[in-house]
Amino acid sequence: MELSSVILTTGVSVGFFRVVNAGVGKLPMPESACRNAWKWRNISTSFVHSFITAIWAVLCFFRHPQMAEDLIETHSVFSHALVSLSIGYFICDFLDMVLNQKLNQSWEILFHHIVVGLSTITVTDQN
């Protein structure tokens, strides 16, 4: 997958998850979630990401079964797009947490997003 396609897919992913986050904020929420509406939106957006990536990952193996034999050297454009989508989600979630939550409450997850994002970029770069 070319760098321009990765950047485009990642950018579209950031935008998509921003729209999901805003859309979740418009939906009715349980009374218990009203006390912390931001957390409700954030967890709901995370669930949408998890749901999409779970289905997409299975489809990656279905469309390119050779990946089951060698996850290091074997990949497809479809699986690269999945990685780009996840990087976009991590960027979106990172920014959402930086803007809406105290650092002492979220530093572990922010650190997780940085490490996973950088390691994903490094592994993708080598292929």
Distance of alpha carbon 123 from alpha carbon 125, whole angstroms: 5
Averaged pLDDT, 21-28: 93
Distance of alpha carbon 125 from alpha carbon 48, whole angstroms: 27
Residue 101 has pLDDT above 90, yes or no: no
Residue 126 has pLDDT above 60, yes or no: no
Structural domain span for residue 85: 3-126
Phi and psi at residue 52, to the nearest 5°? -65, -45
Distance of alpha carbon 71 from alpha carbon 90, whole angstroms: 22
Dihedral sign of CA atoms 40, 46, 51, 54 in order: negative
- Per the structure, the count of domains in the chain is 1
